[in-house]
């Protein structure tokens, strides 16, 4: 399963959509993700089924892959394989993740698994034939290091505590890695601009976003216009851009637009949303960027959100 930020150890960061979806699709797929997080896998699968029936929706490979994971965990292998086929047809590229994703463990002994894997690998080979492979390999390496430490956060915190020496060491390691990655990415952006998906794939473009997202205010302000141009060309997911815009607005002391930034209350220590512009219409703006309802997003961070009227 691909995922929202900060959820589930087996999931990859950043469930992104490459195009804006209809409000109905965004709502249903957001509810499906919420059901998945609550381990209501059959319910999640049904919600994905319903979302895909929206004739105006434009599901991405990630949407189909997420639905496959939900149905695999619910024990419906037929639906899971059907959606994996659709994910492959829609351009799913992450073969390595599919091979190790524990959500799909129940499918690997099935006779359909190896043919599916072969089909996916052949599809990826065709897609990568036009890639700038040296650049893609560099970005893949940066992605691995960017996500490596972050995928350990939940486990280390649960085992040793949020203020433990182990957590402090992990934060230090993460900061050093981010600094090295940022130097490489800013050099790329300065020399060649934001890379196109046609040359580095979806994950390659997302890697650039992740490194800038993990930087600081001056860096983000400098490269935000390039990100805006990339999203207009279709080289950066709208959902990614929404996250970047919200974080930059927060750093500038302004209300966020899409509700992606979660903060802890200094007095209570409880999680909640940073101030949101025109909060009564935030879900409409989220839908336009391919994001599900804010109430479902909040569940992933362990708190309840009541939409403003």
Tokens of 265: 């209350």
Tell me the C-alpha distance between 255 and 169, whole Å.
33
Of 27, 28, 25, 36, the closest CA to residue 2 belongs to 36
Tell me, yes or no, whether 95 lies in a domain.
yes
Q: What is the mean pLDDT of residues 103-130?
A: 95
Tell me, yes or no, whether 5 lies in a domain.
no
Q: Give pLDDT, residue 66.
A: 95
Same domain for 141 and 66: no
Mean pLDDT of the chain: 88
Same domain for 148 and 106: no
Name the domain boundary from 128, 151, 179.
128
Of 82, 83, 99, the closest CA to residue 29 belongs to 83
Q: What is the mean pLDDT of residues 3-11?
A: 32
Q: Tell me the CATH number at 79.
A: 1.25.40.10
Same domain for 139 and 92: no
Q: What is the mean pLDDT of residues 71-94?
A: 96
Residues 210, 14: contact at Cβ < 8 Å?
Answer: yes
| Parent domain of 45 | 23-128
Min mean pLDDT across 28-37, 102-111, 190-199, 228-237 is at 28-37
Number of H helices, E strands in the chain: 14, 2
pLDDT at 36 over 80: yes
Same domain for 274 and 229: no
What's the pLDDT tens digit per position in 167-181? 999 999 999 999 999
Min mean pLDDT across 2-6, 37-41, 267-271 is at 2-6
Residues 290, 19: contact at Cβ < 8 Å?
Answer: yes
Provide the number of structural domains found in the chain. Answer: 3
Same domain for 64 and 45: yes
Q: Which residue has the higher pLDDT, 254 or 27?
A: 254
pLDDT at 61 over 70: yes
Same domain for 180 and 224: yes
| Stated pTM of the model | 0.78
pLDDT at 9 over 50: no
Q: What is the mean pLDDT of residues 277-287?
A: 92
Tell me, yes or no, whether 86 lies in a domain.
yes
Collapsing DSSP states into helix, strand and coil, what is residue 268?
coil
């Amino acid at each position: 399963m691909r995922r929202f930020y900060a959820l589930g150890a087996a999931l990859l960061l950043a469930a992104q959509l490459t195009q804006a979806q209809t409000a109905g699709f965004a709502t249903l797929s957001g509810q499906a993700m919420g059901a998945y997080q609550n381990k209501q896998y059959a319910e999640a699968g049904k919600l994905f089924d319903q979302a895909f029936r929206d004739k105006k929706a434009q599901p991405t490979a990630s949407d189909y892959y997420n639905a496959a994971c939900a149905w695999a965990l619910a024990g419906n292998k037929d639906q899971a394989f059907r959606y994996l086929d659709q994910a492959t047809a829609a351009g799913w590229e992450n073969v390595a993740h599919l091979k190790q994703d524990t959500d799909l463990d129940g499918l690997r002994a099935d006779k359909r698994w190896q043919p599916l894997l072969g089909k996916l690998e052949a599809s990826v080979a065709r897609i990568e034939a036009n890639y700038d492979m040296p650049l893609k390999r560099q970005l893949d390496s940066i992605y691995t290091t960017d996500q490596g430490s972050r995928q350990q956060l939940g486990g280390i915190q649960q085992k040793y505590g949020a203020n433990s020496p182990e957590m402090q060491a992990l934060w230090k390691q993460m900061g050093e890695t981010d600094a090295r990655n940022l130097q490489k990415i800013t050099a790329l952006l300065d020399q060649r601009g934001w890379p196109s998906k046609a040359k580095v794939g979806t994950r390659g473009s997302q890697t650039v976003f992740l490194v800038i997202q993990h930087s600081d205010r001056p860096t983000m302000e400098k490269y935000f216009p390039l990100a805006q141009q990339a999203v207009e060309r279709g080289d950066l997911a709208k959902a990614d851009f929404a996250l970047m815009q919200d974080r930059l607005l927060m750093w500038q002391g302004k209300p966020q637009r899409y509700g992606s930034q979660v903060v802890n209350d200094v007095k209570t220590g409880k999680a909640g949303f940073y101030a949101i512009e025109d909060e009564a219409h935030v879900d409409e703006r989220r839908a336009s960027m391919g994001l599900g309802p804010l109430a479902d997003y909040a569940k992933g961070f362990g708190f309840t959100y009541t939409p403003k009227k």
